[in-house]
Structure 1
Amino acid sequence: MNWDDALKIYDDITEACDGFERKGKKMIYTSSNGYMFTLLNKDAEIGIRLPKEEAAKFIEEHNTGHYYSYGAKMKDYVLVPETLWNDKKLMVNIFEQSFAYVNSLPPK
């Protein structure tokens, strides 16, 4: 998928979520409590931050892997397969789970 289409989908998901909004112009992300929790990288890939156990479960259930941005493995992030992107209800749920997770961490 090209970057512009991925950005449109990412924006559509974040607009449907409660409590946060998309940030950034070139590096697209969401953040709360001092932590980023979703990212759209330059390769048009969406990554989400989850607790370790939830991340492992997500990777197994969706046959995906860890998330990389600018060549670096992002700690606690998983790659969201494009096959899930058009399931808006699921994506909103995943983004909101990630939002709740970072808000459970000590503030930065």
Structure 2
Amino acid sequence: MWEAQLQLYDSIVAKCPNFDRKGKNMIYTSANGYMFTLLNKDAEIGIRLSKESQREFKEKYNATEYKSYGAVMRDYVKVPEHLLCDTQLLVDYFNESYNFVMTLKPK
């Protein structure tokens, strides 16, 4: 399961020209000093979004907050399983997440 999710995650990132996947054990993307997508040890994908986009994503896709290593990741949404087959939608959200962190004050 985890290996399949890693392959999916990598295939999404490969379609996003502005950033690369990082990490060996903790898989993530980052820009501007902020992580903005994660693949946790439970093979769940989390995406960091603006407050408004989080609310819309949760309502539209019946999504929940994202947890990694037992901690709730503030500003992240968990990608529901039913969206995992829609790679283009996830590419769009990964890019939206990148664009969001690029609006934040650099760390």
User: The TM-score by the shorter chain falls in which range?
Assistant: over 0.9
TM-score (norm 1): 0.97
| Aligned residue number for residue 67 of structure 1 | 66
Q: Residue type of the partner of 1:64?
A: A
Q: Name structure 2 gaps, 5 residues minimum.
A: none
| Aligned residue number for residue 47 of structure 1 | 46
**What's the RMSD between the two structures over aligned residues?**
0.6
Instruction: For 2:53 and 2:87, locate their aligned partners in 1 and report how far apart those are by CA, in whole Å.
Output: 20
| Aligned residue number for residue 81 of structure 1 | 80
Instruction: For 2:17 and 2:99, locate their aligned partners in 1 and report how far apart those are by CA, in whole Å.
Output: 11
CA contact (8 A) 1:22 1:29 kept: yes
Which aligned runs of 4 or more in structure 1 are off by greater than 3 angstroms?
A: none
| Aligned residue number for residue 37 of structure 1 | 36
Number of aligned pairs? 107
- Structure 1 SS opposite 2:66: strand
Instruction: For 2:100 and 2:16, locate their aligned partners in 1 and report how far apart those are by CA, in whole Å.
Output: 15
Cα distance per residue 1:65-107 (max 9 Å; x no partner): 1000000000100000121112111110000000000000000
TM-score (norm 2): 0.98
Instruction: For 2:84 and 2:17, locate their aligned partners in 1 and report how far apart those are by CA, in whole Å.
Output: 18
Identical residues among aligned pairs (%): 57
Cα distance per residue 1:24-70 (max 9 Å; x no partner): 00000000000000000000000000001110110010001100000
Q: Name structure 1 gaps, 5 residues minimum.
A: none
Instruction: For 1:88 and 1:18, locate their aligned partners in 2 and report how far apart those are by CA, in whole Å.
Output: 15
